[in-house]
């Protein structure tokens, strides 16, 4: 696991629990993202899975999301027809202002 963020201090807790190597990156800068992939491959290995979760935050708690609804969303993605599919899921609480 190789979590990355602009501020890697935010990653220290989870990284220390999992033994993950952290990386600093500004996801809005394409050259920084390219460097992140090169650094990750050089220091660890080529990633098998990449989860892109860059976002801005709104007030609220993770517990505002229904765990059954989250699970159902992932089941729906995994069981979708191969002829027309999506590889992207963006889970948001229904109370989020758009």
* SS (HEC) of the chain: CCCEECCHHHHHHHHHHHCCCCEECCCCCHHHHHHHHHHHHHHCCCCCCCCCCCCCCCCCCHHHCCHHHHHHHHHHHHCCCCCCCCCCCCCCCCCCCC
- Predicted pLDDT of residue 34: 94
- Residue-range definition of the domain harbouring residue 65: 60-98
Residue 55 lies in a domain: no
- For residues 3 and 89, the model is more confident at 3
Residue 95 lies in a domain: yes
Residue 27 lies in a domain: yes
Residue 51 lies in a domain: no
The pLDDT tens digits for 20-57 are 899 999 988 999 999 999 999 999 998 887 877 766 55
The pLDDT tens digits for 50-95 are 877 766 555 666 667 777 887 888 888 888 887 877 777 776 666 6
Are 51 and 87 in contact by the 8 Å Cβ rule? The answer is no
Residue 89 and residue 64 share a domain: yes
Q: 0.75 cut: is pTM over it?
A: no
Question: DSSP label at 21?
Answer: P
Number of domains making up the chain = 2
């Amino acid at each position: 696991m190789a979590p990355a963020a602009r501020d890697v201090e935010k990653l220290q807790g989870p990284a220390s629990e999992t033994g993950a190597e952290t990386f600093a990156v500004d996801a809005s800068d394409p050259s920084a993202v390219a460097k992140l992939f090169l650094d990750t491959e050089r220091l660890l290995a080529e990633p098998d899975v990449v989860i892109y979760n860059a976002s801005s935050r709104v007030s609220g708690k993770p517990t505002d999301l229904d765990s059954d609804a989250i699970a159902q969303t992932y089941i729906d993605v995994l069981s979708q027809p191969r002829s027309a599919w999506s590889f992207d899921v963006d889970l948001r609480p229904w109370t989020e202002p758009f």
